[in-house]
Amino acid sequence: MSKKPKQKSNITLQPTSASVEEHAVIYCRVSSDKQASEGHGMEAQEARCREYAQQRSYQIDEVFQDVFTGGGDFRNRAGVVQLLKYLDKFPHRSYVVLFDDMKRIARDTQAYLELRLEIEARGARPESPNFAFNEGPEARFIETIHAAQAQLEREQNRRQVIQKMKARMEAGYYCIGGTKRGYQRNKTTKVLEPSREGLDVLKPALEAFADGKLVRKVDMARYLIDKGFWKRPAPESYITQVTSLLEDPFYAGYVEHIEWEVSRRPGHHKGLISPNTYEATQARLQKVQVSKWVRQDISSDFPLRGLINCVCGASLTAAFSKNHNGNRYPYYLCKTAGCVFKNKSIKKAELEGNFLKVMHASKLKPSVSKVVEEVFRAVWKEEIAEVGKREATHAHKIEKLREKLRGLADMAYRAKTEQLRDVYEHEMEQTAREIEGLEAESGAKLDFAIPFQTALKKSKTLVERPYSIWTKLNTREQHSLYFFLFDEKLFHCK
């Protein structure tokens, strides 16, 4: 009896689910550029995650990295954003997202939980060599506790660093914002001291504004640009920085930090200007005119001194003369050597009367007035839009820097040597200085308290009938208006 040949099976054996290789991505994060460039934090995190993945036969498809502190909105981290976008590109794959430690995800409870949900919403799951991510209410509770503990440690570290820095400020040592412009840090004492730039450029500028030689903030900005203190040629772009320099008591030898409730007190550093000079500056900024600080050649006796040129091109000066009876008579005159009109007096009433006639005759045509109104409206809208954009950009930058500052505070607390702690504190000072600079720039806002129609009316009146405005201003304000109305000084011809 012959045996039947065996039939070949048409069934193909499929690999079991355990043999299917899972896809994974790795996320690494360090808190500072210095850690990224000089340390091995990124490499160590990635190595641990790769070892963990190899043990579980995960296929590593991509590695994402961030240099960012652990607090705040995770959407500000480029690496996290790229990771989420990558997961979106492969909706059919169930990815494993590997972290070296829970703290690499975030050291902020809310940010951690939000990022956890974003990962799960894309069908991925987190895993870590240092923490078992499990389902269930008890496991979620423990996970939340770990995230809250990381936030607590970060905030406690920041508080301790701030307490140390506050104590130094209260003792008179400036330790916020790194080195101030015009100063350098003494390598031995660590105390800030005036630099050559501070003594040769900034000190004369601050003193010149205090005594009225530099009438306006824009004049001080122009002076500093001419001396190479700033690089951009437009002085108007430095008004907020000038205001910050003028209002800062540090330059008078004081330290203070209102945010930390450190009241103004004498510092251990030497001021560029005296306390009296600083107070005179504050009086000018508040429009409290103190007569002893007003220049002698800018006074109500001769409002056009320095504004009118002689035919030789030099500015006319002014003085009083006396007759034999002791009566005083005001005159304008040219004192330039070689000028044909040298010492030939011009009666004050004559010169100023002729100038007012020029001002009175300066009127805008109705057709041009309409153009002015349209331009004003367009500029107003552009300025409002620009301020909004600038404020949003500054707010974003400031928040990122604050997160960096908190990260540095954390590292300073954990530093094992005093030398390393000093390095972190120095970086904190530089970061705080950047924040202060951005906050100062954010102060440059339009005055929205002035209604549009009121501002438009005043502007139109100024260009339509400058004479009516001129007669209502004091001498300093007239000098400012003069250069708004005229491109250059007017000439007096006999």
At 455, which amino acid appears?
Answer: A
For position 224, what pLDDT does the model report? 94
- Rounded CA separation 345/364 (Å): 34
Query: Are residues 261 and 229 in contact, defined by beta-carbon separation less than 8 angstroms?
Result: no
Who has greater pLDDT, 309 or 462? 309
pLDDT band at 293 (very low <50, low <70, confident <90, very high): very low
pLDDT band at 295 (very low <50, low <70, confident <90, very high): very low
- Rounded CA separation 157/151 (Å): 10
Asked if pLDDT for residue 453 goes beyond 90, the answer is: no
Asked if pLDDT for residue 439 goes beyond 60, the answer is: yes
At 358, which amino acid appears?
Answer: V
For position 1, what pLDDT does the model report? 47
- Rounded CA separation 216/222 (Å): 10
For position 455, what pLDDT does the model report? 63
Helix spans in 211-285 (H): 217-226, 239-247, 275-285
For position 375, what pLDDT does the model report? 67
Query: Are residues 103 and 147 in contact, defined by beta-carbon separation less than 8 angstroms?
Result: no
- Name residues whose C-beta falls within 8 Å of residue 307's C-beta, 6 or more positions apart in sequence: 315, 479, 482, 489, 490
- For 56-109, the pLDDT digits (tens) are 999 999 999 988 765 667 777 888 889 999 998 988 888 999 998 877 777 777
Burial of 438 (0-12, 13-18, 19+ CB in 10 A): middle
For position 8, what pLDDT does the model report? 45
Helix spans in 265-346 (H): 275-285
The 10 Å Cβ neighbour count of residue 110 is 15
Q: What is the dihedral of CA 145, 151, 153, 154, to 10 degrees?
A: 170
- For 253-272, the pLDDT digits (tens) are 999 988 888 899 999 999 99
pTM of the complete model: 0.42
pLDDT band at 296 (very low <50, low <70, confident <90, very high): very low
- For 334-380, the pLDDT digits (tens) are 988 888 888 888 899 999 998 888 888 876 666 656 666 676 677 67
- For 169-223, the pLDDT digits (tens) are 888 888 876 788 999 988 888 889 999 999 999 999 999 998 888 878 888 999 9
Asked if pLDDT for residue 5 goes beyond 70, the answer is: no
Asked if pLDDT for residue 289 goes beyond 60, the answer is: no
- For 463-473, the pLDDT digits (tens) are 667 777 788 77
- Rounded CA separation 258/487 (Å): 43
The structure tokens 């961030």 sit at 66
Who has greater pLDDT, 420 or 56? 56
For position 454, what pLDDT does the model report? 64
- Rounded CA separation 233/12 (Å): 78
Provide long-range contacts, Cβ within 8 A and 24+ apart, for 43-46.
Answer: 44/100, 45/100, 45/101, 45/104, 46/100
For position 95, what pLDDT does the model report? 94
For position 49, what pLDDT does the model report? 93
- Rounded CA separation 408/420 (Å): 11
- For 112-131, the pLDDT digits (tens) are 888 888 888 888 999 998 88
- Rounded CA separation 120/111 (Å): 14
Query: Are residues 318 and 347 in contact, defined by beta-carbon separation less than 8 angstroms?
Result: no
Lookup: tokens for 478: 């007239």
Average pLDDT over residues 396-415: 79
The 10 Å Cβ neighbour count of residue 280 is 21
- In three-state secondary structure terms, 237 is helix
- Among residues 317, 198, 309, which one has the least CA distance to residue 248? 198
Asked if pLDDT for residue 304 goes beyond 80, the answer is: yes
Question: Which secondary structure element, helix H or strand E, spans residue 62, and what is its range?
Answer: strand 58-67
Burial of 11 (0-12, 13-18, 19+ CB in 10 A): exposed
For position 37, what pLDDT does the model report? 60
The structure tokens 């991505």 sit at 25
